[in-house]
Amino acid sequence: MDATAVDTAWTSLSEHLAGIRRYARRMARDPADADDLVQECLARALSRPHLWIGVRDVRAYLFAMLRHTHVDLAFRSRRDRDTVPLDDATLDVPCAATQPHALLMRDLNRCLDALPSERRHVLLLVGLEGMTYQEVADQVGIPIGTVMSRLSRGREALRRHMLDGESRVWPDDRCWAC
Do 149 and 119 belong to one domain?
yes
Give the separation between CA 25 and CA 66, rounded to whole angstroms.
11
Residue 73's pLDDT is 83
Do 23 and 71 belong to one domain?
yes
Cα-Cα-Cα-Cα torsion 159, 164, 165, 168, nearest 10 degrees, comes to 40
Boundary of a domain, candidates 25, 51, 79? 79
Give the separation between CA 96 and CA 85, rounded to whole angstroms.
22
Domains of the chain: total = 2
Residue 26's pLDDT is 85
Residue 134's pLDDT is 93
CA atoms within 13 A on the CB side of 150: 23
Residue 1's pLDDT is 53
Give the separation between CA 20 and CA 35, rounded to whole angstroms.
10
| Mean pLDDT in consecutive groups of 10 residues from the start of the chain, 178 residues | 60 80 86 90 83 78 87 80 67 74 87 90 90 91 95 92 63 44
State which residues form the domain around 24: 8-79
Give the separation between CA 159 and CA 62, rounded to whole angstroms.
76
Do 68 and 126 belong to one domain?
no
Instruction: Judge whether 103 and 170 are in contact, CB under 8 Å.
Output: no
